[in-house]
Amino acid sequence: DAKTTQPNSMESNEEEPVHLPCNHSTISGTDYIHWYRQLPSQGPEYVIHGLTSNVNNRMASLAIAEDRKSSTLILHRATLRDAAVYYCILRDYGESNYQLIWGAGTKLIIKP
């Protein structure tokens, strides 16, 4: 299974954009890039996913490098409620059970 590498933690100021990086140099052609986040004392929640093209939704944007070996989750205007652990995960749709392999994620700290 392809693995991802993320910084352990990042800090950002409230109301500023946040760029969370993820490296996945061994990504395969059938791997989708997924992002989840986990707020304190809660289960993870889905944020966004993509394959090759950049993706936008109401929560965030996902920018995928042309070679697909890295991606960046963009929170356009961080609030205190965005303080969470963010997980970048590859999901292989070529496998029948396409399970997610979770790393330790990036802890995002938002400063007021």
Partner 1 sequence: EAGVAQSPRYKIIEKRQSVAFWCNPISGHATLYWYQQILGQGPKLLIQFQNNGVVDDSQLPKDRFSAERLKGVDSTLKIQPAKLEDSAVYLCASSHPTRYTGELFFGEGSRLTVL
Residues near partner 1, by CB under 8 A:
32, 34, 36, 41-46, 49, 87, 91, 93, 96-100, 102-105
Shortest Cβ 92–partner 1 spacing (Å)? 12
Closer residue to partner 1 in complex, CB, 53/96: 96
Closer residue to partner 1 in complex, CB, 80/101: 101
Closer residue to partner 1 in complex, CB, 15/45: 45
Shortest Cβ 44–partner 1 spacing (Å)? 5
At residue 81, the 3 state secondary structure works out as: helix
State the Cα torsion 53-66-13-5 to the nearest 10°: 110
For 71, what's the count of Cα atoms within 13 Å in the CB-facing half-sphere?
28
Closer residue to partner 1 in complex, CB, 65/100: 100
Q: Are strands 55-56 and 45-50 parallel, antiparallel or unpaired?
A: unpaired
Please report where in the chains the tokens 């809660």 appear, as a residue.
42
Residue type, 63: A
Shortest Cβ 22–partner 1 spacing (Å)? 13
